[in-house]
Structure 1
Amino acid sequence: MDTKILTVRSINDKGEGLAFTEDKEIFLSDALPGEKVEVIVGKPFAAGSKRCSGEIVKFLSKNADRQDPFCPYFGACGGCQLQHWSLKAQLHYKKENIKTALKSCGVTLEPENFVEEKRPQICRFKTIRYFKNVDGKIKAGFYKKRSHDLIETDKCALEPLWFSEFIQDLTGFFNLKDLKAYDENTGKGLIRNVMLRDGGLQRLALICTTDLLSDDLKDALINLAKKHQINSLNYLVNDAKGNRILGDKSLVIYGNEYMLAKLGGLLFEVRPHAFLQVNPYATLELYQKAVSWCGENKSAVALDLCCGVGTMSLFLASHFKQIIGIEIVEDAISAAKENADLNGINNVSFIASDLKKILPSLINENVKAVIADPARAGLGEANCRALNRLKGDVKLALIFCSLTALKRDLPVLLKGGWKINNVQGVDMFPHSTHVETLVLLSKK
Structure 2
Amino acid sequence: MKKTVRSRKEEKPAKQLKKGDIIDVSVSGLNEDGLTTATHEGIRLFVSGALPGEGVRVRITHAGRREMTGEVINVLQPSAERLAEPPCRRAGFCDGCPLIAMQYPSQLAWKRSYVEQTLHARRSLKQVPVHAVLPSPRPLHYRNSAKLAVAGTFRSPVVGIYRRNSHDVLDIDDCPLHHPLINRIVAAVKEGIKKGKVPVYSPRTGSGILRYLVIRVSERHERAMVVFVTARRSFNEIHHLTKHLRQTVPEVEVAVQNVNASEGNVILGHHDHYISKDHAIIEELGDIRFSISPRSFFQINSGSARIIYDKVREWSALSGNESVVDLYCGIGGISLYLAGQAREVHGIEFVDAAVADAEKNARLNRIDNCTFEAGDAAELLEELHEEGTPIDLLVLNPPRKGCDRRVLETAAAIGSQKIIYVSCSPLTLARDLEILAELGYRTREVQPVDMFPQTPHIESVALIVKEPLEQGKTRTPRPRTTSSTTPHRKKKGAA
- TM-score w.r.t. the length of structure 1 is 0.91
SS at match of 2:392: strand
Runs of 4+ aligned structure 1 residues displaced above 6 Å come to 1-5
Looking at structure 2, the residues matched to 216 and 301 of structure 1 have their Cα atoms a distance apart, in angstroms, of 52
Q: Give 1:22 shift.
A: 5.1
Which residue is 1:384 aligned to? 408
Structure 1, residues 171-197: CA drift from partner, whole Å, max 9, x if none? 222233322222222222211111111
Classify 1:25/1:89 alpha carbon distance in 2 versus 1 (closer, same or farther; 3 Å). same
Which residue is 1:398 aligned to? 421
Q: 2:197 pairs with 156, 178, 185, which one?
A: 178
Looking at structure 2, the residues matched to 54 and 390 of structure 1 have their Cα atoms a distance apart, in angstroms, of 50
Is structure 2 residue 38 aligned with structure 1 residue 15?
no
Classify 1:356/1:213 alpha carbon distance in 2 versus 1 (closer, same or farther; 3 Å). farther
Map 1:12-411 onto structure 2 (within 5 A).
12-21=31-40, 23-37=42-56, 45-46=63-64, 49-54=65-70, 59=75, 61-67=77-83, 68-106=85-123, 107-108=125-126, 109-116=128-135, 119=138, 121-134=140-153, 137-199=156-218, 200-201=220-221, 202-215=223-236, 217-218=238-239, 221-222=242-243, 224-225=245-246, 227-228=248-249, 229-363=251-385, 366-391=390-415, 394-411=417-434
Point out the more displaced range, 369-378 or 51-60: 51-60
Q: Which amino acid aligns with 1:423?
A: V
Is structure 2 residue 454 aligned with structure 1 residue 437?
no
Structure 1, residues 85-126: CA drift from partner, whole Å, max 9, x if none? 111111111111111210232212231001247636321111
Classify 1:181/1:39 alpha carbon distance in 2 versus 1 (closer, same or farther; 3 Å). closer
SS at match of 2:276: strand
Q: Give 1:258 shift.
A: 1.1
Aligned residues: 440
Q: Does the Cα contact within 8 Å between 1:137 and 1:180 map onto a contact in 2?
A: no
Classify 1:313/1:357 alpha carbon distance in 2 versus 1 (closer, same or farther; 3 Å). same
SS at match of 1:338: helix
Looking at structure 2, the residues matched to 223 and 175 of structure 1 have their Cα atoms a distance apart, in angstroms, of 11
Looking at structure 2, the residues matched to 184 and 220 of structure 1 have their Cα atoms a distance apart, in angstroms, of 21
Looking at structure 1, the residues matched to 329 and 190 of structure 2 have their Cα atoms a distance apart, in angstroms, of 36
Q: Give 1:367 shift.
A: 0.3
Instruction: List alignment gaps of at least 5 residues for structure 1.
Output: none
- TM-score w.r.t. the length of structure 2 is 0.82
SS at match of 1:132: strand
What percent identity do the matched residue pairs reach?
26
Classify 1:223/1:131 alpha carbon distance in 2 versus 1 (closer, same or farther; 3 Å). closer
Point out the more displaced range, 329-338 or 159-168: 159-168
Looking at structure 1, the residues matched to 174 and 62 of structure 2 have their Cα atoms a distance apart, in angstroms, of 35
Classify 1:370/1:55 alpha carbon distance in 2 versus 1 (closer, same or farther; 3 Å). closer
Classify 1:130/1:332 alpha carbon distance in 2 versus 1 (closer, same or farther; 3 Å). same
Q: Does the Cα contact within 8 Å between 1:138 and 1:180 map onto a contact in 2?
A: no
Looking at structure 2, the residues matched to 334 and 273 of structure 1 have their Cα atoms a distance apart, in angstroms, of 11
SS at match of 1:168: helix
Looking at structure 2, the residues matched to 235 and 291 of structure 1 have their Cα atoms a distance apart, in angstroms, of 38
Q: Give 1:60 shift.
A: 5.1
Looking at structure 2, the residues matched to 59 and 78 of structure 1 have their Cα atoms a distance apart, in angstroms, of 17
- Greater percentage in strand: 1
Larger Rg: 2
Q: Does the Cα contact within 8 Å between 1:310 and 1:336 map onto a contact in 2?
A: yes
Looking at structure 2, the residues matched to 413 and 185 of structure 1 have their Cα atoms a distance apart, in angstroms, of 49
